[in-house]
């Protein structure tokens, strides 16, 4: 169990992000989110004031807007990627439990993928019916009854 404990120490959101973005193992950083954000903001503010002290507030506001929009876009992309990963994991688990692969499984996975895309489209629409998306995804979370005849 000591091996698993070492793995879980490294299994952090930041570690995963560093590996996916940079291909690097995580560097230890004990700062919390606010400290990390404040450090980069303060550095940017210092440089902006050196170049144009009179217009620095407009530059800072624009940079903040850009950073905020980037965060929103990448969060939405991350949520979509998470749903797709979950769908793929569910398919793999179902295949392993059944112990076989056939055309019916292929059809089922295509239908599942189509439903997940539909649910994602609903969730991405600000006026979309979130309950409908939940119902679509919930269908795939329920165990299917096997036909006896």
pLDDT tens digits, one per residue of 34-80: 888 888 888 888 888 888 777 777 878 888 888 888 888 888 888 88
E strand or H helix that includes residue 58: helix 56-98
Q: What is the pLDDT of residue 149?
A: 40
pTM over 0.85: no
| Contact assessment for residue 95 and residue 101, using Cβ atoms and an 8 Å cutoff | yes
pLDDT of residue 89: 82
Read off the pLDDT band of 5 (50, 70, 90): low
- Quick one: pLDDT band at residue 1, thresholds 50, 70, 90? very low
Can you tell me the mean pLDDT for 79-96? 82
Predicted local confidence at residue 148, as pLDDT: 44
Question: What's the mean pLDDT when you consider all of the chain?
Answer: 76
How far apart (Å, rounded) are the C-alpha atoms in residues 149 and 147? Answer: 6
- 84 vs 20, residue with greater confidence: 84
**Cα 51-52-55 angle, rounded to 5 deg:** 150
Between the CA of residue 55 and those of 23, 41, 59, 63, 65, what are the distances in Å?
Answer: 38, 16, 6, 13, 16
Whole-number CA gyration radius for the chain: 23
């Amino acid at each position: 169990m000591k091996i698993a404990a070492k793995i879980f120490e490294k299994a952090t959101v930041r570690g995963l992000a560093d590996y996916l973005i940079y291909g690097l193992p995580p560097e230890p950083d004990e700062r919390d989110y606010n400290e990390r954000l404040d450090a980069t903001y303060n550095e940017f503010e210092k440089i902006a004031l050196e170049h144009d002290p009179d217009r620095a507030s407009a530059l800072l506001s624009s940079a903040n807007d850009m950073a905020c929009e980037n965060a929103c876009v990448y969060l939405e992309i991350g949520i979509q990627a998470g749903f797709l990963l979950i769908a793929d994991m569910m398919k793999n688990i179902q295949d392993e439990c059944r112990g076989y692969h056939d055309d019916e499984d292929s059809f089922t996975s295509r239908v599942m993928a189509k439903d997940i895309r539909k649910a994602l489209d609903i969730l991405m629409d600000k006026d979309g019916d979130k309950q409908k998306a939940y119902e679509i995804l919930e269908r795939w979370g329920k165990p299917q009854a096997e036909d006896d005849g």
